[in-house]
A and B are shown apart, each in its own frame.
Chain A
Amino acid sequence: MSLLIGAMTIGFILSLLALGVYLSFRIFAFPDITAEGSITLGAAVTATLLVKGYGPLAATAAGFVAGLAAGTVTGLLYTRFHINGLLAGILVMTALYSINLHIMGKSNLPLVNLPTVASEAERAGVRLLGRDAVELLGWQVSARDLSVLAAVAAAIAVLGVLLYVFLGTNLGTAMRATGDNVQMIRALGVNDGAMITLGLALSNGLIALSGGVLAQYQGFTDVQMGIGMVVWGLASVIIGEALVGTRQLGYAITGAILGSLLFRLLVAVALRWGLNPNDLKLITAGFVFLALVLPGMLARLAARRVRHA
């Protein structure tokens, strides 16, 4: 049970990554690799500030702002300097590797015995429940684990609603249309370059926030923690789309969160069954490949069957 709670907590934390990837890949159709650097950037900034004695909320917010900046740089490389989108992301990601090392001062930064958003949630939860263990569906569950999960879930729900509301504003609607039809949005007087830059900033801000919270939950930041994250986020988005069955805005946001949750649960179960953790990224990449290719192949097969009938 505690394994399940842990997987769900990480799933919720990484759903911010999924939302960021949803923004860049789905709304702007922009393959943004910056994410691999910005998730570590968020973790590095947050962890370093915590070590320096800043409060957990301030440190987490600073991580988010750092992500905004990283996304802005990618956006400017793409829109102002007309660098290919994929390459713009790779450049920023590569640069961030050095920047992250500079921020952290070393390649791994532990956060033992420091107040973090996770430890604050634990403390508040234990005080609220008044004991150390709770019975849940017949299992004894640590009150600390449960309160972290509840806090993270509540925070994600709020952020998800905020994102939904934002994408329904004049600015957010213009952003969605930019990804859909650039010719039209220019003719309606919108600076498409500014929209893409803002979208990438927001996307990487969310991803950095995810990294900052993840670092506090797992108790350390590692400079390598971003590797493979884009594919994980993409896998979550794809699972989410399969779950909700539509790309309509509200459903898609809910789907990305649920997808991330389900993805982490699947990973936890697979690891429990003895999957070699080293194979995790290979299997995820294979899964995303299949998810991208299968729908088209099935449609072709169905079309052939109709023709033969």
Chain B
Amino acid sequence: MLEVRSISKTFNPGTPNEVRSLQGVDLEIEDGSFVMVIGTNGSGKSTLLNAVAGTFLVDSGTIRLENRDVTRWPEHRRAQFMGRVFQNPFSGTSPALSIAENLALAARRGRRRGLGWALPGRLRAGMRDAVRRLNMGLEDRLDNAIGSLSGGQRQALTLLMATWLKPRLLLLDEHTAALDPKSADQVIQLSEEIIARDRLTALMVTHSMHQAAGLGDRLIMMHRGRVIHDFRGPEKRRLRAGDLLARFEEVRRAEQLDEAAAAMLERVYV
């Protein structure tokens, strides 16, 4: 369903700030699989997600979604297939609009937006039920501006919005990295529930070894703009956080980093 063929992307080409973020990435994701993406800082894992979402156009290679070549499609057009949750909890919602209005926008993702009333009664009733299931007590605050909510609440709502219309592909970009541990747990649990309930195809970037080992049925590890490991099936199920750390250690040795950098890696990733 998602087919990425040798895509490359270089930012600021020909300048001192040149960054070769993606260097020929191949990736094929079957319907219904839940894929974790991990990697060192600057490995291109978020860039890969953004390339699929269409935040920028790739320099070379092709991206196919639902058997359509979407390589040159603008972001808003690809959105009909995709739900997205960003790392920054403030990115996925419109703070000046109410909870209900934000959900109403999500209820027409990728559809025509005409002069119909944005908040018909039917939709509101559905919203109350869906928001109640978040267990955050927000169902009585549907008319409050989203800007007044906490990061965790906003991220939970963004997840609800991204999956309101069942997306063909759900993109989660380190969506708990900016949350406090308790909210992060809540949002992860919610993500698991929704993905399992709707049998969604999902691609999730994470910084956390524990999330990477514990979630999903496939894991790809990226480094320097390439996929260096791809664990599936039983291999993925056996994988523990410690194994992943060992893989990063291998990468470290290969790169002959010094001990200080290794200590930093450990601090960041464990």
Query: Does A287 sit at the interface, judged by CB under 8 A?
Result: no
Give the docked Cα–Cα distance between A188 and B84 (Å). 9
Please indicate the chain A residues that have their CB under 8 angstroms from the CB of B90 in the complex: 181
B104 touches A187 (CB 8 A): no
Query: Does B141 sit at the interface, judged by CB under 8 A?
Result: no
* Given A189-B77, A189-B110, A170 contacting B116 (CB threshold 8 A): yes
Query: Does B105 sit at the interface, judged by CB under 8 A?
Result: yes
* Given A186-B79, A188-B106, A176 contacting B96 (CB threshold 8 A): yes
A181 touches B94 (CB 8 A): yes
Give the docked Cα–Cα distance between A183 and B87 (Å). 12
Give the docked Cα–Cα distance between A297 and B80 (Å). 45
Query: Does A166 sit at the interface, judged by CB under 8 A?
Result: yes
Please indicate the chain B residues that have their CB under 8 angstroms from the CB of A185 in the complex: 76, 94, 105
Query: Does A184 sit at the interface, judged by CB under 8 A?
Result: yes
Main secondary structure of the interface of A (DSSP, over half): helix
Please indicate the chain A residues that have their CB under 8 angstroms from the CB of B80 in the complex: 189
Query: Does A155 sit at the interface, judged by CB under 8 A?
Result: no
Main secondary structure of the interface of B (DSSP, over half): loop
A190 in complex: contacting residue of B76, B117, B119, CB < 8 Å: B76
Query: Does A173 sit at the interface, judged by CB under 8 A?
Result: yes
**A-facing residues in B24-55 (Cβ within 8 Å):** 53
A169 touches B77 (CB 8 A): no
Mark interface residues in B71-101 (1 if CB within 8 Å of A CB, else 0).
Answer: 0001111011010101000111111110001
* Given A174-B105, A177-B94, A185-B105, A169 contacting B75 (CB threshold 8 A): no
Query: Does A191 sit at the interface, judged by CB under 8 A?
Result: yes
Query: Does B113 sit at the interface, judged by CB under 8 A?
Result: yes
Chain A's closest residue to B75 (CB) is A186
Q: How far is the CB of A115 from chain B (nearest CB, A)?
A: 33
Mark interface residues in B158-181 (1 if CB within 8 Å of A CB, else 0).
Answer: 000110000000000000000000
Q: How far is the CB of A149 from chain B (nearest CB, A)?
A: 32
Please indicate the chain A residues that have their CB under 8 angstroms from the CB of B82 in the complex: 187
Mark interface residues in A164-205 (1 if CB within 8 Å of B CB, else 0).
Answer: 001011111110110011011111111110000000000000
Query: Does B253 sit at the interface, judged by CB under 8 A?
Result: no
**B-facing residues in A34-85 (Cβ within 8 Å):** none
Q: How far is the CB of B156 from chain A (nearest CB, A)?
A: 15
Q: How far is the CB of B168 from chain A (nearest CB, A)?
A: 13
Query: Does A127 sit at the interface, judged by CB under 8 A?
Result: no
B113 in complex: contacting residue of A168, A171, A183, A192, CB < 8 Å: A171
Please indicate the chain B residues that have their CB under 8 angstroms from the CB of A176 in the complex: 94, 96-97, 101
A180 touches B161 (CB 8 A): no
* Given A181-B95, A183-B91, A171 contacting B114 (CB threshold 8 A): yes
Give the docked Cα–Cα distance between A188 and B75 (Å). 9
B115 touches A169 (CB 8 A): yes
Please indicate the chain B residues that have their CB under 8 angstroms from the CB of A186 in the complex: 75-76, 79
**A-facing residues in B198-216 (Cβ within 8 Å):** none
Q: How far is the CB of A240 from chain B (nearest CB, A)?
A: 17
**Which of A170, A171, A190 lies at the interface centre, i.e. has the most chain B CB atoms within 10 A of its CB?**
A170
B92 touches A184 (CB 8 A): yes
**Which of A176, A186, A188, A192 lies at the interface centre, i.e. has the most chain B CB atoms within 10 A of its CB?**
A188
Query: Does B223 sit at the interface, judged by CB under 8 A?
Result: no
Query: A-contacting residues of B (Cβ < 8 Å)?
Result: 53, 74-77, 79-80, 82, 84, 86, 90-97, 101-102, 104-106, 108-111, 113-119, 161-162
Query: B-contacting residues of A (Cβ < 8 Å)?
Result: 166, 168-174, 176-177, 180-181, 183-192, 247
